[in-house]
Structures are given as structure tokens and as C-alpha cells.
Structure 1
């Protein structure tokens, strides 16, 4: 029974993410969410009680991946390794949580009225930690003296665009949807721009057993 419950909640959350992303909160109807999820309308209220609660759940569903994307900054690592992993995680979020990413972006643009104070504090604290880590590398001469805050904002913008502006990107590329190669090219392009622009050297490859001096 629990698996059916979780499956239905996931279907509703995904459908709600897409509906809210396309129409905004006010114009979205619970009946449209239910239809998109392929479930009866009462199920939406059974699991989420109200459209407002469902909207908040959509926001919650993207906060955890956003916080998890910063994991490379929370552990030891070379600047190139950390930035590479972070950018890849952010691109993955735009690909796998496109609807929720758009909803989150819209929420932020409107002053985050539905995002809890606790979540805002968590996100801000993580961003401050990431900025401090970047500043530490700058102070140690391990990367160029760029503004760490604006570097982080630029990474956000470059990766988030693959969720927020997917229609424009597919229109320009002439594709119905982006594929694995497109997302790989996006990640590698952003990584290259950031590492080269910040004068960060790639960590040297560790020698394999065959290269070990005898």
C-alpha cells in the first residue's frame, strides 16, 4: 500500500511541477494536475489537502537537490574537482527536475513568499559557505581574484537556463528535446569557461600502477 501511495504522490508532484511551471500558481487548476497525473481529482486533496500545500511540496522537492548539489564544497577537494562536480550537479538538476526548477526560479523572482524561512536560511547558509570556500582558494592563490559571489551567481544562471529556457534552447537547436550529448556539451562548456576564466588548473591525473617508478 505504501508503494502505491508513494507512486501516486510522485505522479501528482511531477504533474504539479509541470502545471505550475507552465501556468503559474494562480492559473493552475487542481483538476488539470489530476488529469496530467492520470489520477482522480480527489487524490490530489487526499495526499496534499490543498493547492497551496501542493505548491509548497513542489518547492520542497527541489530544495533538497539544490542543497545536495553543493556537497563537493562541503568536503576536501581541489578547486577544479569541486567546481566540475558542482556544475555537473546543477546541470543534472535542470535536466531531471526541470518543472520544479522553473517553479523555484519563479518563486525566487517573486520574493520567495511560499518558501519557509528555515529553507531560505539553509540555502543562504550553503551559498555563504560556498562563497567562503571560493574566497579561500582565491586568498591562497589557487584561482584568479574574481568576485566569488558573482562567480557563484554566474554558475547558477548558466546551469539554470537549461531548465528555465528549455523552449528557447530547443527552438534554436531545432530539437524537440535535448539529449545526453546536449547536456554533456552544456556541462563541459560551462566547466571550461569557469576553469579557464578563473585560471584554475585541472588536478594532475594520478599515475596508474604501470606508471609507478620502479
Structure 2
């Protein structure tokens, strides 16, 4: 357990140091993955000595756990906003836009999550099987209801969500490839153009016949 999480009434300086450590750890973990990262790397990135870092967190696992816990709340929010009472295609396309905006604004967090999943999710299985699964199950029921009512085309609601995740998070996890492969005049506006492309694609695939 992170010492910083146990502390009550932290001072401003302690809060600043905690945030500095977490920001440094996000850089390190998103670049090297959990297994490839060390406490020394995090301390160096944060500009702290290792003993100073250990005053706030007692292990690499504790730092990583707090990062993942914070990430989960951010990651689930776009799906939480899917409104069962809204117009189905508009709601789904708005969700696609929110996920793409996250890829643009939180690339390190996306890579941190992807690295963990690629390793078999050993440190976040309980989070995936708990809060994430509960939310996905809830929203797939909503999507299936829209299909049953003939408001959107028939498809598998789970794989629809997986498709949205893969097409949007690609622009964070593989951004260096995207920038390299796109013509120079398209690379700068890649997220804007991706938003237009994905919006057209999902609208076309979801339109009820």
C-alpha cells in the first residue's frame, strides 16, 4: 500500500511531491512497461533521491497501483456518459469522439493501460473483472435494447465496443507509426481527420436498414 495514500492531512509540499512522483512514474511505466521500469528510473525522472521517494511510496507496485486506480476512473468516464435516453447513433458517435479525444489528450495513460494488458493484466484483473466489466455489461444491455427496437443495425454490442476501443486507442498507442505513415500535410491534423473518418464509418455501419 502506498504510504502517500495512508497519510491524512498531507501538506502542500507533500501533495506536490506525490504528484511529481506519479507524473514521473507515468512517463517511465508508459515507456518501458511495469517489468522494464525501476524505482531508480522513477526517482531520477522525478528529480528525487530514492530514499526521498520511499518516504511517499514503499514500492514500485504501490506507485503503479495508484496510477492504474486513477486511470480507471478517467478511462471509464466516456462510457459512463452513454445516455440510454439519447438518440442511439448520436450517443455512440459521441462516445467514439470522447474516446478519440482521450487518445489525443492522454497518450501516456493509454500506453500504460495497453502495456499492462499485453502482459496479461496481472495487476489489474480485479479492476477489469469488477468496475469495467460491470459498466460494459450495463451499456451492452442498452445497445442491445436499441437494436431490438430497430433503432440501430443488428451487431454484437460487445464487439462494437471493442471496435471503438481499438480504432480510437490506436491513435495513442501507435501514434509514432500513424505520424510516420501519413503524408506530412495530414499528420498535423490526424486527430481531426480521424474523428471525421470514424464518425462516418460508425454512422454507416449502425444505420438501421
TM-score (norm 2): 0.83
The equivalent of 1:98 in structure 2 is 107
CA distance change for structure 1 residues 97 and 193 in 2, over 3 Å: closer, same or farther?
A: same
CA deviation digits over 1:89-109, x for unaligned, max 9?
212222222222112122223
Q: Name structure 1 gaps, 5 residues minimum.
A: 202-214
2:61 aligned with 1:52: yes
CA deviation digits over 1:107-149, x for unaligned, max 9?
2233321116255311001111121111111111111111211
Q: Does the CA contact (< 8 Å) of 1:14 and 1:99 recur in 2?
A: no
2:88 aligned with 1:79: yes
Q: Does the CA contact (< 8 Å) of 1:87 and 1:155 recur in 2?
A: yes
2:47 aligned with 1:9: no
CA distance change for structure 1 residues 4 and 69 in 2, over 3 Å: closer, same or farther?
A: farther
Q: Does the CA contact (< 8 Å) of 2:21 and 2:43 recur in 1?
A: yes
3-state SS of paired residue (2:30): helix
2:207 aligned with 1:196: no
CA distance change for structure 1 residues 195 and 53 in 2, over 3 Å: closer, same or farther?
A: same
Cα distance in 1 between the residues matched to 2:110 and 2:202: 22
Length, aligned pairs only: 198
The equivalent of 1:89 in structure 2 is 98
CA deviation digits over 1:43-70, x for unaligned, max 9?
4322222111111122112100111111
Q: Please state how far the C-alpha of 1:39 moved relative to its aligned partner.
A: 3.4
- Give runs of aligned pairs for residues 35-184 of structure 1, distance below 5 A: 35-115=44-124, 117-118=126-127, 120-173=129-182, 181-184=189-192
Q: Please state how far the C-alpha of 1:40 moved relative to its aligned partner.
A: 3.4
Please tell me the root mean square deviation across aligned C-alpha atoms, in Å.
2.3
Q: Please state how far the C-alpha of 1:25 moved relative to its aligned partner.
A: 1.5
Q: Does the CA contact (< 8 Å) of 1:61 and 1:100 recur in 2?
A: no
Cα distance in 2 between the residues matched to 1:162 and 1:42: 38
Q: Does the CA contact (< 8 Å) of 1:63 and 1:119 recur in 2?
A: no
